[in-house]
Structures are given as C-alpha cells and as structure tokens.
Amino acid sequence: MDDLWAALIPLALAGALVPAQIVVTLLLLRAPGGALAAAAFVAGMTAVRLGQGVLFGLVLTGADASEEPSGPGTIAAVLLLVLGLLFYATAVRAALAGDDPDEPPPRWLAMTDTMTWSKAFAFGAGLMLVAPKFWVFTLSAIAAIEEAELGRAAASMAFLGFVALTQSVLIAIVLLAALAPARSATALDAVSGWLERNDRILVIAIGAIFGTWFAVKGLSGLGVL
C-alpha cells in the first residue's frame, strides 16, 4: 500500500497544480455566479474523473484477468512515460511560444463572466475530456491501483482518495470563498493576479519537474533505467 501511494501522490499533486484549472476557478469566483458556478465547475471535473475510474477500471481489471501478471506494470510504466513527455512538451511550448496548451481558449475564459452553474459544470467536464494530460493522470492512477492487486473495495477507496487529493486545491479555494467571502476576496484576487503574472514560469517549472519525475519512473518501470 505504501508503494501505491508513493505512485499516486505525485500524480495527484501534479494534477492539483495545473495552473489553468486554478485560474478558471478563480475567474468563476469573481463572476456573478460566484461560488456556485465555481463549485459546479469543480463538480464537472470530478464527475468525469469518477466516470473514467469506473469505465477504465473495469477495462483494466478485465485485461488483468486474461493477460500475464506483468501487464498492468507495463501499462502503468508506459502511461507514466507518456505523462512525462506531455509535461516536457508543455514546458517547451510555454518557453518557446509563451502559452499553456492545457489552458482553454481565450473566448472560453471570457465566457466565465456569464456562466450559470449548469454551464460551469459542463465546462469542467469538457475540460477534462479534451485535455490529454488529464486523461493520462487518471489512467496512470488506475493502472497503478490495478498493479497493486488490491481487492475491489480497497481499490475503489484508493481511487476515491486519488480523486479527492487531485481536486483538493480547487475544493479548498471554493470552500474558502463560500465560507468566508469577505475575508477571502482580497487573498483570492492576489493569488489570481500572481498566477496571471507568473503563469509562464509556473508552467515551465511544473513541466520540467514533473516531466522528469514521471519520465524517470516510466523508464524505470520499463527496465530502461
């Protein structure tokens, strides 16, 4: 179990720190929809993650039953390597072009000013579905859980824990805004401004750090390192 969480925590941390999703949450909090729209956005992302867990957890469980025991380990290693390469690609693109490939188009960001909670929910779900990196986060976690060969109940709890950790930053931001709107407004505005000013540096740093981590883990799992 310790080995499993050693694999899941970096995945959850990397997923939680994607700058684009934090920026969108902060924009929604400043819009007329406020905390309700932001909460719906986070709920949309969470719903897709849970759906992926159910769908692909069943697929990988079925593959595990019919393939050699080393299968899930290979799957997990390949996914980690792919994730590392995606992080590197994000860092290089941010360094050369100055943009974040995970960030929604500007016209989508402009729509946050008028989003209802239902549209915010769909926005969160859509962001999860169209961004390749988010898919690889979840699939890597599922593969790691399958590799641990836990029982169904323990595997389900491990995946729920992964989802909770991955969404923890966004949930904390929404709860802070909802429970202490007056006190949190200044702090959240400061965080939003800091993220906007340092977005490029953050994307490059996160891409380089996590890209190296996941690439090394993936290559080690494949026996290359």
- pLDDT of 161 reads 94
- For the beta carbon of residue 205, count every other beta carbon within 10 angstroms: 13
- pLDDT of 94 reads 80
Cα dist. 160→20, 164, 167 in Å? 23, 6, 11
Cα dist. 158→1, 49, 56, 153 in Å? 9, 13, 15, 9
Which residue ranges of the chain lie beneath pLDDT 70? 1-2, 57-72, 98-109
Q: What's the domain range around 21?
A: 2-221
- pLDDT of 47 reads 95
- pLDDT of 101 reads 59
pLDDT digits (tens, 9 = 90+) for 29-59: 888 778 899 999 999 999 999 998 888 765 5
pLDDT digits (tens, 9 = 90+) for 118-153: 999 999 999 898 888 888 888 888 888 888 878 888
- pLDDT of 98 reads 61
- pLDDT of 106 reads 62
- pLDDT of 112 reads 78
Q: Is the dihedral of CA 62, 139, 148, 72 positive or negative?
A: positive
- pLDDT of 175 reads 93
Q: What is the pTM of this model?
A: 0.79
Q: How many domains does the chain have?
A: 1
- pLDDT of 63 reads 46
Residue 160 half-sphere exposure toward CB, CA atoms < 13 A: 6
- pLDDT of 181 reads 80
